[in-house]
Amino acid sequence: MSKVISIANQKGGVAKTTTAINLAASLALAKQRVLLIDMDPQANLTSGVGQKGQAASGGTIYDALTTNSPNAEDFVLATGIDYLSIIPADRNLTGAEIELVPMQEREKRLRTITNVLRNRFDYVFIDTPPSLGLLTLNSLVAADTVLVPLNCEYFALEGIAELVATMDRVRAAYNPELALEGVLLTMYDERTNLGQQVSSNIREFFGEKVYTTVIPRNIRLGEAPSHGVPVILYDARSRGAEAYISLANEFLARDHATRG
């Protein structure tokens, strides 16, 4: 049974894309079949796995979303990393936010695609843009669960009520089973009291949903995307790489525990 996980937080720069790349790559290293879907017109996920400007025969996620009756298989591109594939994005996706508006079943377009691909993958991760528009809505409608990265700074919880309200709306209208996968603390700086305070506030708010693994601030995580590789292939011994491997282990252990 596969699982579709949307990585969402409408706040910008909280490590949604970094988490998508590095959690996916760490799971692929553990021989899990993983598909990444880039739903952000910035296409940072696509370039972060070295696929900028690339697409499979059907085109990018923009084409997949705006074609009627697309053949989902035609959009899946191998990444060069074993067990890891991607449906890439490019700048065209900016237009989709508006072009989708008059289309039939506009909120369910991505779901139609992911449902077809489920049998080929163990995990599908969808990277979302920093907004709650139609692209994020499509991602939440397609997902079984939502993974929320929060950066350890003062305003970390700002906007979370809006995300939670959007998830409620999606449950009521399209996807009653949508659940919270987990909350991930990112860019943690142990040298500051602020980081510690914020992380304990977040743990109070979300309880056991918060992963034990915390992602530290680590320069290698910021450098790896410019080389088009996940951090485990850029500097496997860095703290950033170790943290995402540990997150992947925690993620798998939780997933197995909840599914029995």
Ligand X SMILES: Nc1ncnc2c1ncn2[C@@H]1O[C@H](COP(=O)(O)OP(=O)(O)OP(=O)(O)O)[C@@H](O)[C@H]1O
Instruction: List the x/- string, 80-119, binding to ligand X by CB under 6 A.
Output: ----------------------------------------
- Kindly report the backbone phi and psi dihedral angles of residue 147, in degrees, each rounded to the nearest multiple of 5, phi listed first: -105, 125
Q: Name which position in 4, 6, 8, 18 contacts ligand X (CB under 6 A).
A: 18
The single residue among 4, 6, 16, 43 that binds Mg ion, judged by CB under 5 A, is 16
Give me the half-sphere count of Cα atoms (radius 13 Å) on the Cβ side of residue 3.
22
Contact status: 24 vs ligand X (CB under 6 A): no
User: Of 3-11, 16-24, 93-101, 106-114, which segment contacts Mg ion by CB under 5 A?
Assistant: 16-24
Residue 37 contacts residue 127 (beta carbons within 8 Å): yes
17 or 32: whose CB is closer to Mg ion?
17
Interface with ligand X (CB under 6 A), residue total: 20
If the CB atoms of residues 116 and 180 are measured against ligand X, the closer one turns out to be 180
Burial of 24 (0-12, 13-18, 19+ CB in 10 A): buried
For position 217 contacting Mg ion by CB under 5 A, the verdict is no
Token look-up 């506009």 returns 106
Q: Which two tokens stand for residue 187?
A: 């860019």
Site track 42-81 with Mg ion (rule: CB under 5 A), x = hit: --x-------------------------------------
Contact with ligand X (CB under 6 A) among 38, 39, 40, 43 = 40
Say how many residues make up the chain: 260
How far is the C-alpha of 246 from the C-alpha of 68, rounded, in Å? 41
Beta carbon nearer to ligand X, 58 or 86: 86
Query: What tokens appear for 18 in the block?
Result: 């970094």
Residue number with CB closer to ligand X (70 or 251)? 251
Q: What string of DSSP letters covers 51-113?
A: -TT--BTTB-HHHHHHSSS--GGGG-EE-SSTTEEEE---TTHHHHHHHTTTSTTTTSHHHHH
Residue 135 in the binding site for ligand X (CB under 6 A): no
Tell me the two tokens of residue 42.
């910035």
Residues 8, 93, 148, 187: which binds ligand X (CB under 6 A)? 187
Binding site for ligand X (CB under 6 A): 12-18, 40, 42, 44, 130, 186-187, 215, 217-218, 221-222, 225, 240
